[in-house]
A = this chain, B = another copy of it.
Amino acid sequence: MDNFTYYSPTKVLFGKGGEANVGEVIKGYGFRKVLLHYGGGSIKRSGLYGVIMKSLSDAGIAFVELGGVEPNPKLPLVREGIALCKAENVELILAVGGGSVIDSSKAMGMGLMLDGDVWDIYRGLVVPAKTVPVGVVLTISAAGSELSNSSVITNPDGGFKRGHNNDVCRPLFAILNPALTFTVDKFQTACGIVDILMHTIERFFGTPAQTMLSDSFAEGLMRTVIDAGKRVMANPEDYDARGELMWASSLSHNGITGNGRTGDWASHQMEHEISGLFDRVAHGAGLSVVFPAWAKYVCHVDYARFAQFAVNVWGITPGNSDEETAYAGIDAAKAFFKSLGMPTSLTDLEIGADSIKPMAEKAYAWRETMGFFKPLRKPDVVEIYKLAL
């Protein structure tokens, strides 16, 4: 086991109807004014917006609001939110939505503590030591941002998609009601399933430390997501299955599945170049394309680890060699992604070979290697993108 720090202070309020209590929760912390931050308006169509407005009013919480967060949340809206929060003396940012809304809220919360520009955080020039707190009402099971220390923001000026990891941005509380995800469509649900799996897969691979407890959590979470994922795709209103996915989304990215080892994260980094350049590509869809190619390119480094993944996660019967079992596991993952209706090639995403060089160039503009399972240099990444064609 490697040394590690584990810190997941977010208070989770899980269950039916929790969103109607958000005002009382906020009041309990002593906050009096919040920014209500959300996306494209689906919370108005679903009625959630009204429930939250009423809960805030009933609890005597004043608020201003800022909607319009897009997938791959954008820097200009973050800057707009920071200005608004400053002008209105906002004490807490209430993110009502999924990963994009939460990441945008985290960026604002941290940015509010700076004298300089918020993008400096994502450029690695400054590490905020505190934040205006973020609370969450989650509406989609996917990114895990509700418990994570991570925020990813896209700067449209150049198409840069960059992440910042910092314990200060872990949300103060997260209200998780699986019923709020009944209306998430099949494609977004499937993207979420891939995203949840990938957060744990990235942690499962990486450096070769012995981590039996973390492995058992990782494997159990992935088996749960595969099982619940199938049930949710068949019946979008299966509360228990939606619940397993929602809780798995949070635990797949708070650190619990990878303590004691360093995760890999190369698949995420390669995906960031895809959706950074092609804004139409959903994060989960990009991951679904990258992972099988990455796995085939790197598995020779440790077939036994990939065989463990195949047997304990995908239920593969061990073959004649770890190599054979390893490939069977990768094929099973790819087949599962396909069964969800996910793309599994760049071609499926309508991205051609001509985009590979620009993506690889951008990825290596500021780093030497990517990943830990097999540290990848630029030519490796080019090969992986080619495998993904």
Do the beta carbons of A216 and B210 come within 8 Å of each other?
no
- Alpha-carbon distance between A224 and B260 when the two chains are bound, in angstroms: 14
Residues of chain A from 279 to 309 with CB closer than 8 A to chain B in the complex:
none
Asked if A88 is an interface residue, CB under 8 A from chain B, the answer is no
- State the oligomeric state as a number of copies: 2
Contact A221 B213, CB 8 Å, known A3-B16, A11-B7, A12-B5:
yes
A103 neighbours in B (Cβ, 8 Å): none
Do the beta carbons of B243 and A227 come within 8 Å of each other?
no
Asked if A212 is an interface residue, CB under 8 A from chain B, the answer is yes
Do the beta carbons of A14 and B259 come within 8 Å of each other?
yes
Contact indicator per residue, chain A 192-221, by CB within 8 Å of chain B (1) or not (0): 000000000000000000101101110111
Of B228, B239, B247, which contacts A259 at CB under 8 A? B247
Closest to A167 in B: B11
Closest to A147 in B: B6
Total number of A residues with any Cβ neighbor in B under 8 Å: 40
A217 neighbours in B (Cβ, 8 Å): 216-217, 220-221
Of B11, B210, B212, B248, which contacts A213 at CB under 8 A? B248
Asked if A102 is an interface residue, CB under 8 A from chain B, the answer is no
Closest to A13 in B: B5
Asked if A223 is an interface residue, CB under 8 A from chain B, the answer is yes
Asked if A4 is an interface residue, CB under 8 A from chain B, the answer is yes
Asked if A251 is an interface residue, CB under 8 A from chain B, the answer is yes
- Alpha-carbon distance between A228 and B4 when the two chains are bound, in angstroms: 19
- Alpha-carbon distance between A256 and B213 when the two chains are bound, in angstroms: 13
Asked if A2 is an interface residue, CB under 8 A from chain B, the answer is yes
Do the beta carbons of B224 and A247 come within 8 Å of each other?
no
Do the beta carbons of A5 and B1 come within 8 Å of each other?
no
- Alpha-carbon distance between A11 and B216 when the two chains are bound, in angstroms: 22
Contact A244 B213, CB 8 Å, known A220-B219, A256-B256:
yes
- Alpha-carbon distance between A12 and B215 when the two chains are bound, in angstroms: 18
Q: How far is the CB of A281 from chain B (nearest CB, A)?
A: 29
A227 neighbours in B (Cβ, 8 Å): 212
Asked if A240 is an interface residue, CB under 8 A from chain B, the answer is yes
Do the beta carbons of B9 and A14 come within 8 Å of each other?
no
Of B1, B6, B223, B224, which contacts A240 at CB under 8 A? B1
Asked if A15 is an interface residue, CB under 8 A from chain B, the answer is yes
Q: Which of A1, A9, A13 has the most CB of B within 10 A?
A: A1
A260 neighbours in B (Cβ, 8 Å): 14, 243, 247
A7 neighbours in B (Cβ, 8 Å): 11-12
Q: How far is the CB of A286 from chain B (nearest CB, A)?
A: 25
A5 neighbours in B (Cβ, 8 Å): 11-14
Contact indicator per residue, chain A 257-268, by CB within 8 Å of chain B (1) or not (0): 001100000000
Closest to A212 in B: B224
Asked if A55 is an interface residue, CB under 8 A from chain B, the answer is no
Residues of chain A from 220 to 235 with CB closer than 8 A to chain B in the complex:
220-221, 223-224, 227-228
A8 neighbours in B (Cβ, 8 Å): 8-9
- Alpha-carbon distance between A216 and B213 when the two chains are bound, in angstroms: 11
A-B contact pairs, 14 of them (CB 8 A): A1-B14, A1-B240, A1-B247, A3-B14, A4-B15, A7-B12, A9-B9, A212-B228, A213-B221, A215-B220, A216-B219, A216-B221, A217-B217, A219-B220
Nearest first, the 10 A-B pairs at minimum CB distance are A216-B220, A3-B15, A9-B9, A6-B12, A1-B243, A213-B224, A7-B11, A210-B240, A212-B224, A220-B220
